Amino acid sequence: MRNLALIMGCLLLAMPVWAQDAVVPADAVTPDAATPDTSMPEEPPPAEPLVKVRANGFLDTRTTGAYASVGHLLPADDVAHLANLTEGNIQLKLDWGDKGTGVADASFLFQKGGLYYGNDGTGERLRLADHDVSMYRPSAVLSEFYGTYNFHDHFNLTVGKKRIVWGPGLANNPTDLLNPAKDPTDPTMQRAGSWLVRAEAPFDLFTLSFVAAGKVTRQFGGIPGGLVYYPDAHPATQYDKYGNAQSDGYDTRPHYALAARAYALWKETDWNLYWFQTQQYNDAFNYKNRVGLSASHVFFNALELHVEAVGYTGSSKAYFDSSCIGSVSAFQGCGMAGKTPGGYTQIDDPGVRVKALAGGRWQFGDNASFTFEYLYNGEGYNSQEFSNFAQVASLRPQLLSLMDTLASAHVSLPGNALSFLSPTSNTDSGAPQKFTFEPMRRHYAFFTYLHTMIADDWNVNTVVLLGLEDLSGQIAPQVTWLTREWLNLTLGGLYTIPGVKSLGAQVGDVRYTENGMQPTMWRLFFSARVFY
């Protein structure tokens, strides 16, 4: 896996040897199908080149204004109230005969953020000096970079980085365990895949797929520096303020995902069965097996209904002992007494959890559609667990300070009690998104209205994400003017629905809803995208 790019390069170079023209003349054409007419001269078609390269992409500049509250549970210090993101994207596709394909999709992102505000300690709003925030740094994103070779009509091999999504869900895919998470308010923003090898056997009515994916353990400027295993050397630039080398999650374990999928088109329905095994891939699970299924069918030539579910044992979430989280000293006391105040305590729990999404999309017949989806997150927090989480979130600054103090004294709490403060993350999070959906509770609804080609040149899109336990969420309206065939102008927004506070978690004398904890209250953006 460490040499995936090299392998793919070799595969691409070797393609001319295998490449053949797969579109062959039929031995016989149905006599009725042709009406020869020799009286009308016909120019012979030009010969197809063996190698075809196509390039396209876009240049997009997006300016965002935002307002973040300094009184919410999570700090606003790193939220830029004015930001610009300019993305240059290039997509290359190389066809080698009809058997081989090479694809690259890369973006170069130039970002700048400013206008930061924080809490002055009395609850008042305080302008902060502009400072370095990692999410606003320039970066490169290699969304896809892979080669596929069809050895046979019914067998092909793909090597490289590719986004593979099998489930039919629009806003969320419970069975997508391989890729960086997408933004449910704008799924088109995330095109990044994972580094993998895929063997696939496609047939007319069914397909068998097997995927082995490696987690990017280190990445520099969009280029992976480690796959599956951490490189032995620590990155030279990452030291804590005491001069100790940062662990950056370093371990000696493998980080991978295996997936097998069987697809069938049966009774006009797309059916998928899945099996996954993940090892410290995009969550804290070790050698975790999961099974899933999905289906999609169109009814009445207008209504598409779909379901997508995955089941497994245990939970990869951090849970907290309510007797240990009243204060930092209570937390520290529990830790010193050998009692685990918080952590991945249910990771080996034998209880079965299910994540399932069910929904439908109604096509109105005038290029408009309405999609509704319900997500059940089986490992989401119940009310008490969510209250505990909110309580710990309120203590997070003090706990981080405690962790620093302990680290400087080279002391750690028993049982790695603060490990949840550095949760397992995806090193390669893909393209920057305006909203990242990490469901903490159990019940969610998504509504998407899309109307394209209004008066030929206008697209309207509105997405509503709603947590059903406290009715907090996000609403993201967007209007796009297709000014020219090569230029789109978009005005959009993201507004946080605060929800019903009485249904939220109690922390001290304040109640917090899930989305109400976030500092950002609204964003407004304008984007100009030029296609080439």
Partner 1 sequence: MFRTTLLTLAMTVLLPTVAFADPTAEELLKKYDSVMGPENFSATILMTAHRDDGTTRAYKMSMLKKGDDKFRATFAEPAAVRGQEMLRQGDNLWVYMPNLKRAVRLANRDSFQGGDFNNADVLRVNYQADYSAKVIADSGRADAWLIELHAKTKEAAYDMIKLWMRKSDSQPVKGEYYTASGKMLRAAEFSDFKPFSGLVRPGKISMKNMLATQRYSTMTWDAMDSKVNPPSGKFVLDDLGR
What is the binding site for partner 1 (CB under 8 A)?
22-27, 29-30, 32-37, 40, 42, 45, 54, 56, 58, 91, 93, 98, 101, 144, 148, 150, 153-154, 163, 165, 168, 170, 187-188, 191, 193, 200, 202-204, 207, 209, 263, 265, 268, 270, 296-298, 301-304, 306, 363, 365, 367, 452-453, 456, 482, 485-486, 488, 531-532
CB of 370 to partner 1, least distance (A): 13
User: CA–CA distance from 376 to each of 19, 293, 310 (Å)?
Assistant: 46, 15, 11
Instruction: Give the pair of three-digit tokens for residue 376.
Output: 């059940």
CA atoms of 371 and 353, how far apart (whole Å)? 26
* Nearer of residues 66 and 431 to partner 1, judged by Cβ: 431
97 neighbors 20 (Cβ within 8 angstroms): yes
200 versus 379: smaller Cβ distance to partner 1: 200
| Least distance in angstroms from the C-beta of 427 to partner 1 | 20
Nearest CA-CA partner of 495 in 189, 115, 67, 208: 67
Tell me how far, at minimum, the Cβ of 268 lies from partner 1, in Å. 6
Nearer to partner 1, 400 or 453 (CB): 453
| Minimum CB–partner distance for residue 307 and partner 1 (Å) | 13
Nearer to partner 1, 110 or 486 (CB): 486
Q: How far is the CB of 441 from partner 1 (least distance, A)?
A: 26
CB of 249 to partner 1, least distance (A): 27
* Residue with smaller CB distance to partner 1, 196 or 334: 196
Residue 151 Cβ, how far from partner 1 at the closest point, in Å? 11
DSSP for 30-79, written as a single string: -GGG----TTS--PPPPPPPSEEEEEEEEEEEEEEEEEE-SSSSS--TT-
Written as six digits, the tokens of 3 are 């040499």
Is the Cβ of residue 209 or residue 280 nearer to partner 1 in the bound state? Answer: 209
φ/ψ of 187, rounded to 5, equals: -60, -15
Closest approach of Cβ 269 to partner 1, in Å? 9
Q: How far apart are the first and last CA of the chain?
A: 34
Nearest to 306 by CA among 164, 168, 187, 173: 168
Nearer to partner 1, 250 or 531 (CB): 531
Residue 54 or residue 410: which is nearer to partner 1 going by CB? Answer: 54
Which H or E element spans position 511? strand 510-512
H/E run at residue 392 = helix 383-408
List the structure tokens of 528: 């100009």
| Cβ 80 to partner 1 shortest distance, Å | 25
Task: Give the up-direction half-sphere exposure of residue 183: CA atoms within 13 A in the CB hemisphere.
Answer: 20
CB-wise, 25 or 508, nearer to partner 1?
Answer: 25
Question: What is the CB neighbour count within 10 angstroms for residue 135?
Answer: 13
What is the C-alpha separation between 200 and 208, in angstroms, rounded? 6
Q: How far is the CB of 191 from partner 1 (least distance, A)?
A: 5
Q: How far apart are CA 394 and CA 371, in angstroms?
A: 36
Residue closer to partner 1, measured from CB, 239 or 532 = 532
Dist CA 145 CA 5 (whole Å): 8
Q: Which two tokens stand for residue 369?
A: 């559609």
Q: Which is nearer to partner 1, 317 or 434 (CB)?
A: 434
186 or 469: whose CB is closer to partner 1?
186
Using the CB atoms, write b or e for 521-531: b if 16+ within 10 Å: bebebebebee
CB of 329 vs partner 1, minimal distance in Å: 50
Strand segments (E) across 323-472: 342-343, 352-363, 368-377, 443-454, 458-467
DSSP one-letter string for 451-509: EEEETTTEEEEEEEEEETTT--EEEEEEEEEEEETTEEEEEEEEEEE---GGGSEEETT
Q: How far is the CB of 438 from partner 1 (least distance, A)?
A: 20
